[in-house]
């Protein structure tokens, strides 16, 4: 991995610090994308953490606890700070960011990460172990094609998950109205 990416462990930031600059923590890393509403830190604190700023195309991996979770940083998250519990991978010219993000989600790769993690109660992976991970590198054009196909499928997954959440909210809102008789269902 360290031959195709620059790796860096996240910054340690006091949890009492708050502000407008988003601070990425492991809980904000879903399976392939970043969740909204991260904690924030002040601009003054962020100024001292410039080497921990994320750039669109970076890949972030959870280092402790939910190892194996990873996400690609989008342009909306450009400039966020990544905190402790996160390892940032900054892909070089030989690897496509999207390909790397999906590669890290491959079952074989996730298994490698789990087998090479330390800790029993709270599994973790350190920077050196992740740096030593082998990476399959097809030609760059093939990587880009793979990334594009899998990104398109991820977009569809996100849309369907939003439909599921919205439908569940609608059901939950209608349930008490229908059960109380406040709202009735028209006969078909």
Q: What is the DSSP string of 34-78?
A: BPS--EEE-HHHHHTTGGGB--TT-EEEE-BSSTT-EEE--GGGT
Burial (Cβ within 10 Å: 0-12, 13-18, ≥19) of residue 77: buried
Single pTM value for the model: 0.85
Is the distance from CB of 10 to CB of 88 less than 8 angstroms? yes
What is the chain's mean pLDDT, rounded? 91
Q: Which of 64-68, 88-92, 133-137, 165-169 has the lowest mean pLDDT?
A: 64-68
Residue 3, pLDDT above cutoff 80: yes
Distance between CA atoms of residues 5 and 15, nearest Å: 29
pLDDT of residue 16: 66
Span 58-74, average pLDDT: 90
Distance between CA atoms of residues 23 and 39, nearest Å: 5
- Quick one: pLDDT band at residue 158, thresholds 50, 70, 90? confident
Residue 15, pLDDT above cutoff 90: no
pLDDT of residue 121: 77
- Domain annotation for the chain: domains and CATH numbers: 5-137 (3.90.220.20)
Residue 53, pLDDT above cutoff 90: yes
pLDDT of residue 71: 94
Q: Give whichever of 36-50, 116-130, 154-168 has the largest mean pLDDT.
A: 154-168
Q: Which of 7-11, 21-25, 115-119, 128-132 has the lowest mean pLDDT?
A: 115-119
pLDDT of residue 104: 95
Strands 59-62, 21-24: pairing kind: unpaired
- Quick one: pLDDT band at residue 123, thresholds 50, 70, 90? confident
- Top pLDDT among 180 and 35 is at 180
Q: Which of 56-60, 61-65, 162-166 has the lowest mean pLDDT?
A: 61-65
Residues above pLDDT 70, as percent of the chain: 98
């Amino acid at each position: 991995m360290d031959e195709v990416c620059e790796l860096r462990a996240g910054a340690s930031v006091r949890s009492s610090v708050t502000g407008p600059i988003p601070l990425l923590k492991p809980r904000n890393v879903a399976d392939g994308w970043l969740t909204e509403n991260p904690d924030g830190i002040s601009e003054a604190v962020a100024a001292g953490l410039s080497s921990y700023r994320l750039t669109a195309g970076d890949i972030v991996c959870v280092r402790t606890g939910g190892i194996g979770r990873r996400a690609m940083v989008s342009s909306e998250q450009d400039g966020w700070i990544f905190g402790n519990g996160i390892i940032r991978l900054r892909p070089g010219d030989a690897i496509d960011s999207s390909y790397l993000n999906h590669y890290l989600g491959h079952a074989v790769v996730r298994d490698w990460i789990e087998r090479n993690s330390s800790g029993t109660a709270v599994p973790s992976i350190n920077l050196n172990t992740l740096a030593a991970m082998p990476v399959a590198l097809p030609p760059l054009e093939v990587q880009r094609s793979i990334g594009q196909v899998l990104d398109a499928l991820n977009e569809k997954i996100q849309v369907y998950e939003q439909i599921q959440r919205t439908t569940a909210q609608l059901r939950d809102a209608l349930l008490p109205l229908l059960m109380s008789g406040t709202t009735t269902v028209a006969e078909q």
